[in-house]
């Protein structure tokens, strides 16, 4: 029997094969920009092309004034400006953009026109649902009416602010009769949520609809907890099971400056921890800066990641003052250069961990 000699591949050929394999791999998920490069990296492992998972259910969790609503607004603004320019390998080119902000809390105090412009504010469909049933019907109706080339971005702010129709009826009855609310386990919301997400997951299968659902949740504190995590968010197992990204936000510090001999808070610095991710590595973290009347400060977030409080060295230049560096970047339209440097630094850290794993004996 003739022996067949196997030709050994050169290193160059191996590299070419890997590159070819990656190019032929089917893209399963794409992303919507968060407005912050380091946050994009924490969420998806990608910088400029990363962010919140498109066509999925994502959850933003945080306490009061931590930046939950602002992150939602930044995502909406990014889609308003860029989604029609994105070349997707999964979804058809966007011909019709639909952004619905279901403000279940009924209050929106941000100076939206000043931050994002009047055109953006007028474009948004502002909805108000008191009950989960009303929200569910509204979203399902909009989802069912989508056609090829339609893109839907739907926000629920917040999940905690919506109750159930049965719960509202019990409350109204107690007011009319002047009695306490009838005893109940009040599980209507949880039961409806399970049915809602179960139905939604079927419609999301194989990227049938270009629709992204963003759920904002409040942080709650466990009473009497002496060990383990002391905070949680409402929504039960349904939110745990059906969300593809869950990002927890907390305020780190208030930013202060002195002007005309008076000190004022001009913004906050917050931290995001990605505690759940089906589309990237979980437990990645990112700091970001929110400036009042402006929004996310992407350049400051990248400076914090790359240099912290050290002297900034960039393109052969040295900057002692952050403000001077920001002017240099903005006036020279060099933000893409800074984004590239941030991505490279992030990936070098990730690669260092991958190298550690490669030293282990293969399991196959």
Tens of pLDDT, residue by residue over 142-192, are 999 999 999 999 999 999 989 888 887 887 878 887 777 765 556 788 888
Q: State the distance between the two ends of the chain, measured CA to CA, in whole angstroms.
A: 30
Partners of 309 in the beta sheet? none
Residue 71 backbone zone (phi > 0: left; psi -120 to 50: alpha; other: beta): alpha
Rounded to an integer, what distance in angstroms lies between the CA atom of residue 100 and that of residue 123? 9
Question: In terms of domains, do 289 and 313 share one?
Answer: no
Question: In terms of domains, do 148 and 197 share one?
Answer: yes
Question: In terms of domains, do 66 and 210 share one?
Answer: yes
Q: Tell me how many domains the chain contains.
A: 2
Domain C-terminal end among 275, 296, 317: 296
- Per the domain annotation, does 76 fall within a domain? yes
Domain enclosing residue 156, as ranges: 28-178+186-296
pLDDT for residue 307:
96
pLDDT tens by residue, 5-59:
444 445 455 445 444 444 445 778 999 999 999 999 999 999 999 999 999 999 9
Question: In terms of domains, do 332 and 234 share one?
Answer: no
pLDDT for residue 343:
96
43 burial via Cβ count (<10 Å: 0-12, 13-18, 19+): buried
Q: Which one is predicted more confidently, 238 or 221?
A: 238
pLDDT for residue 133:
94
Cα torsion 21, 23, 28, 33 to 10°: value is 140
Considering the chain, what is the average pLDDT of its residues? Answer: 87
> For tokens 């926000």, what's the residue?
155
Question: In terms of domains, do 256 and 137 share one?
Answer: yes
Which of 58-62, 89-93, 201-205, 239-243 bottoms out in mean pLDDT, i.e. has the lowest? 201-205
- Per the domain annotation, does 4 fall within a domain? no
Residue 357 backbone zone (phi > 0: left; psi -120 to 50: alpha; other: beta): alpha
Q: Mean pLDDT throughout 266-288? A: 92
Backbone angles phi, psi at 251, to 5 degrees: -75, 130
Q: Does the pLDDT value for residue 87 go beyond 50?
A: yes
Question: In terms of domains, do 210 and 305 share one?
Answer: no
Tokens encoding 89:
């390998």
Question: In terms of domains, do 59 and 80 share one?
Answer: yes
Q: Report whether 49 contacts 31 (CB < 8 A).
A: yes
Q: Which one is predicted more confidently, 187 or 200?
A: 200
Q: Does the pLDDT value for residue 227 go beyond 90?
A: no
Rounded to an integer, what distance in angstroms lies between the CA atom of residue 42 and that of residue 63? 20
Domain C-terminal end among 271, 296, 321: 296
Tokens encoding 349:
């850290």
What is the 3-state secondary structure of 264-284?
A: EEEEEEEEEEEEEECCCCCCC
- Per the domain annotation, does 5 fall within a domain? no
Rounded to an integer, what distance in angstroms lies between the CA atom of residue 136 and that of residue 25? 35
Q: Which residues contact 46 (CB under 8 A, 6 or more apart)?
A: 31, 40, 343
Question: In terms of domains, do 311 and 245 share one?
Answer: no
- Per the domain annotation, does 116 fall within a domain? yes
Rounded to an integer, what distance in angstroms lies between the CA atom of residue 250 and that of residue 275? 13
Tokens encoding 329:
């970047």
Q: Please work out, in degrees rounded to the nearest 5, the angle formed at the alpha carbon of residue 338 by the alpha carbons of 328 and 19.
A: 155
Q: Mean pLDDT throughout 128-150? A: 95
> For tokens 């009303």, what's the residue?
134
- Per the domain annotation, does 11 fall within a domain? no
Which of 240-254, 314-328, 350-364 bottoms out in mean pLDDT, i.e. has the lowest? 350-364
Q: Does the pLDDT value for residue 281 go beyond 80?
A: yes
Question: In terms of domains, do 291 and 312 share one?
Answer: no
Question: In terms of domains, do 245 and 314 share one?
Answer: no
Task: Band the pLDDT of 66: cuts 50, 70, 90.
Answer: confident
Q: Report whether 299 contacts 35 (CB < 8 A).
A: no
């Amino acid at each position: 029997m003739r022996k067949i000699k196997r030709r050994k591949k050169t290193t160059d050929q191996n590299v070419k094969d890997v590159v070819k394999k990656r190019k032929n791999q089917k893209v399963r998920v794409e992303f919507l920009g968060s407005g912050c490069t380091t946050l994009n990296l924490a969420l998806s492992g990608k910088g400029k092309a990363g962010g919140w998972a498109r066509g999925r259910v994502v959850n933003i969790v945080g306490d009061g004034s931590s930046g939950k609503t602002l992150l939602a607004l930044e995502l909406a603004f990014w889609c308003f400006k860029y989604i029609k320019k994105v070349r997707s390998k999964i979804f058809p080119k966007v011909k019709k953009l639909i952004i619905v902000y279901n403000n279940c809390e009924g209050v929106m105090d941000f100076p939206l026109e000043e931050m994002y412009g009047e055109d953006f504010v007028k474009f948004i469909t502002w909805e108000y649902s008191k009950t989960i049933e009303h929200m569910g019907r509204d979203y399902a109706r909009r989802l069912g009416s989508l056609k090829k080339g339609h893109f839907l971005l739907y926000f629920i702010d917040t999940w905690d602010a919506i109750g159930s129709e049965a719960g509202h009826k019990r409350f109204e009855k107690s007011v009319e009769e002047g009695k306490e609310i009838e005893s109940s386990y009040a599980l209507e919301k949880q039961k409806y949520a399970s049915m809602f997400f179960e139905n939604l997951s079927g419609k999301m299968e194989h990227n049938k609809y270009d629709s992204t659902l963003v759920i904002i949740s409040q942080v709650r504190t466990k009473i009497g907890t002496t060990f383990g995590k002391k905070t949680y968010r409402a929504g039960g197992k349904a939110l745990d099971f059906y969300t593809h990204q869950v990002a927890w936000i907390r305020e780190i510090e208030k930013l202060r400056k002195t002007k005309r001999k008076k000190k004022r808070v001009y913004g906050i610095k917050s931290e995001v921890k990605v505690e759940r991710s089906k589309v990237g590595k979980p437990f990645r973290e990112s700091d970001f800066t929110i400036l009042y009347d402006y929004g996310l400060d992407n350049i400051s977030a990248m400076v914090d990641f790359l240099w912290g409080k050290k002297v900034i060295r960039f393109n052969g230049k040295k900057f002692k003052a952050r403000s001077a560096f920001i002017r240099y970047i903005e006036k020279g339209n060099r933000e893409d250069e800074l984004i590239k440097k941030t991505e490279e630094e992030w990936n070098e850290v990730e690669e260092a961990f991958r190298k550690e794993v490669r030293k282990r004996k293969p399991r196959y």
